[in-house]
């Protein structure tokens, strides 16, 4: 049985009233959804809150799920919209500490060299700070491309944006990062 057919069977079971089937769907996708939200929001507790809301909305909206894509991607789109909405609600003085986002960045090679380790930490902080300054749409695309390792087509599907818009947001986001990180050195 393929993952897609199992998902469809689980969705059908939930629609027939089997809440245990939805628990299985949540268990399969929760780590990915929480990770996405944490990368976007920079806070684990806020990410868990948004992920919980995304699953609640998915449960309520399950009759509208067409099944033309993976269930996980559908929940991701819900979670991304909620995370973006949460970012828009934040006041500037309540922005997450950019250095906290460093944890989700790809770890640089850690060696026994303490100077190298300190430089690696500083680089992670600079990158996290630069990413946190990007507009929401650019931060979303950059995060999905480089930290979730999604293709441009996957990003377009998950965000609902045309592929050209995804490419443009990625290009602009990377240019902004290069300018900001280039001046940080």
Say which residue, 135 or 150, is predicted with more confidence: 135
Give the whole-number percent of the chain exceeding pLDDT 90.
24
What pLDDT does 127 receive?
A: 75
Domains, the chain, in order of start with CATH, read 1-95 (1.10.1740.10), 97-185 (1.10.10.10)
Tell me the pTM.
0.54
- Degrees, nearest 5: CA angle 85-142-25: 60
pLDDT-derived band at 165, boundaries 50, 70, 90: very high
**Which of 13-17, 83-87, 106-110: highest mean pLDDT?**
13-17
Of 125, 127, 116, 46, give the one whose Cα is nearest residue 79.
46
3-state helix, strand, coil in the chain (%, to 5): 80, 0, 20
Whether the CB-CB separation of 171 and 160 falls below 8 Å is answered with no
What pLDDT does 90 receive?
A: 66
DSSP 134: S
pLDDT, one tens digit per residue, over 110-138 is: 334 444 544 565 676 677 777 778 888 88
């Amino acid at each position: 049985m393929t993952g897609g057919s199992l998902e469809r069977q689980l969705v059908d079971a939930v629609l027939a009233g089997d809440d245990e089937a939805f628990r299985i769907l949540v268990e399969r996708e929760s780590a990915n959804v929480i990770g996405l939200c944490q990368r976007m929001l920079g806070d684990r507790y806020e990410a868990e809150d948004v992920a919980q809301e995304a699953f609640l909305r998915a449960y309520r909206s399950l009759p509208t799920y067409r099944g033309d894509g993976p269930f996980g991607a559908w929940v991701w789109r819900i979670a991304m919209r909620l995370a973006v909405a949460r970012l828009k609600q934040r006041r500037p003085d309540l922005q997450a500490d950019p250095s906290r986002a460093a944890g989700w960045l790809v770890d640089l090679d850690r060696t026994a060299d303490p100077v190298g380790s300190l430089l690696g930490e500083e680089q992670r902080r600079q990158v996290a700070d630069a990413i946190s300054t990007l507009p929401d749409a650019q931060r979303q695309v950059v995060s999905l491309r480089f930290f979730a390792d999604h293709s441009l087509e996957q990003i377009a599907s998950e965000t609902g944006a045309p592929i050209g818009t995804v490419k443009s947001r990625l290009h602009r986001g990377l240019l902004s990062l290069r300018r900001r990180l280039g001046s940080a050195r």
